[in-house]
A = this chain, B = another copy of it.
């Protein structure tokens, strides 16, 4: 068995990691860590009672060094402070932004980087695109949910579209995390819909850096718990059949489903699938993708990356059965 730790276990992505790993044949959760420690995970999430029960320990980088695999579901800055200590001792999947960007972009949008030497040692964890590189490193920067759904939609079209693209992105409220904020109050979100941080959202640099495009990115908040839908608008440079382009590019991918009709969040919520549809209006292109923001946009993608880090079958334990109806 592969001795596995989850740091930041009490957040939504920590919870999803636990739920996935309960079905994993090799990764065995042997430690949960948090900034405080002391609480029990089944008290924080009573749904786990009788399913998985454990105490959360206070984060201790020395302890982490003894694990084979560490999932780091902590905020940026905290993440690189931990990685700096434990890199080399264990394989790491980092959920934060700390290793997703080149140093210049990171420092322009976030803060000074305290562990820049590991930027080149880390792989950007989108298996469909960087699978081979991920297998050769020991540190994976797990992509954000917005970039995952956007890049998977854009990737097959990069050679066919003009540089300026618009991304109208909608996320369920779980994407905002467990914290209590005005924008997570039920009365604020219910029967409402609104954009937040349009254009300036940090995730747009992640998309721009990975695709080389000029992205106008507008994130919006859907009054649902989980799931994310991306609508991408671009101009074609060439006449193509969009669905055929998608089918060709992803023909060997088990977790990408190409649709002939607009995609629905409900068909992927609870799973690792990314469903994609595209159509054109003359030379105007509409690309439409959906994922579960907490799974393909975070925790199941992390497990896929961890599977690759250990040269296991990438699909081990990845959830396929949606929360339908």
Contacts and interface: CB of A to CB of B under 8 A. Distances in A.
A193 interface: yes
A321 B288 contact: no
B173 A262 contact: no
Contacts of A8: none
A257 B50 contact: yes
Nearest to A231: B168
A206 to B, nearest CB: 16
Nearest to A50: B257
A109 interface: no
Interface string A81-95: 000000000000000
Interface in A177-198: 178, 180-182, 184-196, 198
Number of copies of this protein chain within its complex: 4
A320 interface: yes
Interface in A205-219: 214, 216, 218
A25 interface: no
Range class of the A interface residue count: 35 or more
* A192, A195, A279 pick with most chain B CB within 10 angstroms: A192
B187 A184 contact: yes
Most buried by B among A12, A49, A214, A325: A325
Interface centre among A166, A199, A259, A320 (most CB of B within 10 A): A166
Contacts of A189: 186
B288 A235 contact: no
A47 interface: yes
B170 A225 contact: no
A120 to B, nearest CB: 30
A229 interface: yes
B233 A288 contact: no
Nearest to A13: B325
A279 B218 CA distance: 11
Contacts of A173: 186-187, 190
